[in-house]
Amino acid sequence: MLFVLKQKFYKKEKNIMVQTIKISREEMNFINNLLNLSGDEIYQKYGYKRDETIIHTAKFSNGIEADIKLVICEESPYTEGVLLHDGYELTCTDPDDTYDGEWDFEVNGVKYIVLVEVEN
């Protein structure tokens, strides 16, 4: 059995796990707005301080979780994904400037894919 993921084809196998996080258009617009501001502008406009985060979590059937984060800092905010098991970090992505889309992780030969999408 095959399924399509962003124009990629994956065999449905045990070593590929996919979860989707759906967020409202309003929240996605808010996150994208934050990504276009400096840390000082975010604090002045919204009151968020350095190291505050916006997090959405995808939960996989094997107990693994992926946190997709927007991290506010003194300079420009950034996004990152963190793969966790029982609260312990397994791996993380490099900092980025995009929240929605595909987030890929791999641990012990298993690929974890999180799709962040706007609700219809």
User: What are the sequence ranges of the domains in the chain?
Assistant: 14-118
Reported as a single tens digit per residue, the pLDDT across 30-55 is 999 999 999 999 999 999 888 899 99
Q: How confident is the model at residue 1 (pLDDT cuts 50, 70, 90)?
A: very low
What totals of helices (H) and strands (E) does the chain contain, helices first? 2, 9
* pTM metric for this prediction: 0.86
Q: Please give the full DSSP string across 84-102, using - where no structure is assigned.
A: EETTEEEEEPPPBS--SEE
